[in-house]
Structure 1
Amino acid sequence: MNLYPFGKFLVSTIFYPLYRIKVIGKENFPPEGGVLLCTNHIDNLDPPVVGISCPRTVHFMAKEELFKVPILKTILPKVNAFPVKRGMSDREAFRTALKLLRSGNVVGMFPEGTRSKTGELGKGLAGAGFFALKGDADVMPCAIIGPYKPFRALRVVYGKPIAMAPYRERKASAEEVTEVIMNEIRALLEQHK
């Protein structure tokens, strides 16, 4: 049973007024086709906030450890999350993500691989570039601009999609593409801070 629509409704009714969420650039989001949604990571609440602000259903990669927490291991698969082992090559997660992207779905990931302790944008991992190149999808950069404090404005900013075809054609490296993605996220953070 998929709980995504119910979860989105429930979280929206709480989070929008609590964090005064403002969504910018939603019109930039491709209405169809595979999209790799890449965003900065400043808080544990980032996935639900992106999930409720995105105009399409998002399938999030979530660290494997979360699927071992009693209540989360039941809920996460029902809200379209799938596990990824951090710090190593996880073939199952790669296959799942690529299959979703090639089927025209939205896959959400945090290229930094972990939350930023300072709120500053960290270094992106090559996995983001790998999925962007192999997934037959464009990349949607997204910036979450906090803080997560009740009744203080929280912004979710969607940039313009990054077409991956030119990078695939010239066989760009995963590292180069990750850098392009991170630069786009950085630009959104700078523009809207």
Structure 2
Amino acid sequence: MKKIKKAISHFFYKTLIIIVRFLLKITWGYKVEGKENIPSRSFILVANHVSILDPIVIGAAFDKRLFYLAKKELFKSKIFNPFLRWLGAIDVDRKDFKYETWKKINKLIKENEIIVIFPEGTRNDHPEMGLLELKDGAASLALTHGLPILPVGIKGTEKIWRRKKFFPQVKGRIKIRIGKIIEIPKVRRPSKEDIKEVNEKIKANLMELLK
């Protein structure tokens, strides 16, 4: 029964992605570069975060379902909670990272799934000033499991759907640039220096993609 439910869910997800891609393309000239850089193995996807549209435009760029680590506040709505979970979002308490969350993440890694993290931790309202200070989550997770990191740059969504705006603007262009994979060594207990070094690599790669 679980296999049947999973197959049905997968079918509807794939159908939704095709529809979303079409709508993004005809509305905002949606364009994706660097798909040849996507590895077939499990990895952590990191991207800049400037709009509520970002998870949607990233998801549309990949044929495989993505799993997003998202702050728990987004799950308070009874309407959006089931939709977010169906899309693959996992609620994270940034002040108290619970064991249950680690279990979900470890299960995804064992199943060779793709985990998406916005290392800035929140939407950047002033991307013209550069990236916000990166949080430790993505670097720490990659080091602990020896997972490679795939950097993705998002351009255009910050002008289309700004914070506190109820509806997106029709004018604008969206461009996704997928960078080359960053190999990360497995470190059982990453030090602050280890995490800092990985974050510097993430930041440098994202900044290059956003040029």
- The equivalent residue for 1:8 is 17
Q: 3-state DSSP class of the match of 1:42?
A: coil
Question: Secondary structure, in 3 states, of the residue corresponding to 1:173?
Answer: helix
Alpha-carbon separation, structure 2, partners of 1:91 and 1:180: 28
State TM-score, norm by structure 1: 0.87
Q: Unmatched 5+ residue regions in structure 1? A: none
* Cα distance in 2 between the residues matched to 1:154 and 1:36: 22
DSSP-derived class of the 2:79 partner: helix
Match of 2:46, as an amino acid? C
* Matching residue of 2:154: 144
Residue 60 in structure 1 maps to residue 80 in structure 2: no
Letter of the structure 2 residue corresponding to residue 18 of structure 1: T
Residue identity in the other structure for 1:187: E
C-alpha offsets along residues 123-160 of structure 1, whole Å, 9 cap, x if unaligned?
A: 11011111111234211000001132534221100000
Give the gaps of 5 or more residues in structure 2.
161-168
- Name whichever of 34-43 and 93-102 sits farther off: 93-102
Query: Which structure: larger Rg?
Result: 2
1:154 equivalent to 2:163? Answer no
Which amino acid is the alignment partner of residue 151 of structure 2?
Answer: P
* Shift, 1:177, TM fit: 1.1
Deviation track 1:23-76 (CA, whole Å, cap 9, x = no partner) reads 01011001x211100000010010010000124321111221121112111111
Q: Counterpart of 1:39 in structure 2: which amino acid?
A: A
Per the alignment, in what secondary structure is the counterpart of residue 156 of structure 1? strand
Alignment of 1:38-117 (within 5 A): 38-117=46-125
The structure 1 segments of at least 4 consecutive aligned residues displaced by more than 4 Å after TM superposition are none
Q: Deviations over 1:91-126 (max 9, x none)?
A: 332332233123211101100000001123111101
Aligned letter for 2:106? L
- Say whether the 8 Å CA contact 1:86–1:113 is kept in structure 2: no
What RMSD over aligned residues (CA atoms) do the two structures have, in Å?
Answer: 2.1
1:164 partner letter = I
Cα gap change, 1:117/1:42 in structure 2, threshold over 3 Å: closer, same or farther? Answer: same
TM-score with structure 2 setting the length = 0.80
